[in-house]
Amino acid sequence: MSDFEDKARAALSNPQNVGEMPDADSVGTVGSPDCGDMVRMWLKFTDKDGKKVIDRASFQAFGCQTAIAVASMATQLLKGKTAEEAASLKPDELTGDLGPLPPMKIHCGQLVENALKNALDGSAPATPAPASGETLASSINQAKPKGSIRIVPLES
């Protein structure tokens, strides 16, 4: 097993900052057109020494284990950062102790990065901002293409 897999497994065994944040100052939601996964990130700011910094960050993910592990790491790293500092974090920095992602997993980290950017300034491509009371699950259901299932009997 690779070093990355060991670290991802450890992060997944106790993911941090999972869940909605009802009193958040901003929220960003991004869906991946590649795999259909979604990440939503909430940010709460506070004043520290005259600067507006991130006090708390939380997330929900309907995504692969890598996206969850990266979101857990990223939300821990964001505490105490200004919006500008958070926005300038490189993808490899957001992954924290996980280190650089394997090539096949890079888009999973980008999902988290874009959810953060969307929460910070709305610059990342995102699904519409959640309406009050809307959950990530209901967002996903809305994102599904409309239409009915057509059942075609097999010829015997």
Q: What are phi and psi of 102, to 5 degrees?
A: -60, 150
Nearer to ligand FES, 7 or 79 (CB): 7
Give the pair of three-digit tokens for residue 83: 């919006």
| 111 near ligand FES (CB under 6 A) | yes
Instruction: Tell me which residue has tokens 């888009």.
Output: 107
C-alpha distances out from residue 148 to 75, 103, 144, 155, Å:
38, 36, 11, 22
Nearer to ligand FES, 35 or 84 (CB): 35
| 27 near ligand FES (CB under 6 A) | no
Among 10, 12, 18, 35, which one carries the catalytic annotation? 35
Considering the complex, what minimum distance in angstroms separates the CB of residue 106 from ligand FES?
9
Considering the complex, what minimum distance in angstroms separates the CB of residue 65 from ligand FES?
8
Nearest to 44 by CA among 59, 31, 62: 59
Stretch that binds ligand FES, among 31-39, 81-89, 116-124, 148-156 (CB under 6 A): 31-39
55 conformational bin, left if phi > 0, alpha if psi -120 to 50, beta if neither:
alpha
Instruction: Tell me which residue has tokens 């990130």.
Output: 41
Which residue of 28, 31, 63, 130 would you call a contact of ligand FES, by CB under 6 A?
A: 63
Q: What are phi and psi of 109, to 5 degrees?
A: -70, -35
Nearer to ligand FES, 10 or 35 (CB): 35
Report, as residue numbers or ranges, the catalytic residues: 35, 108
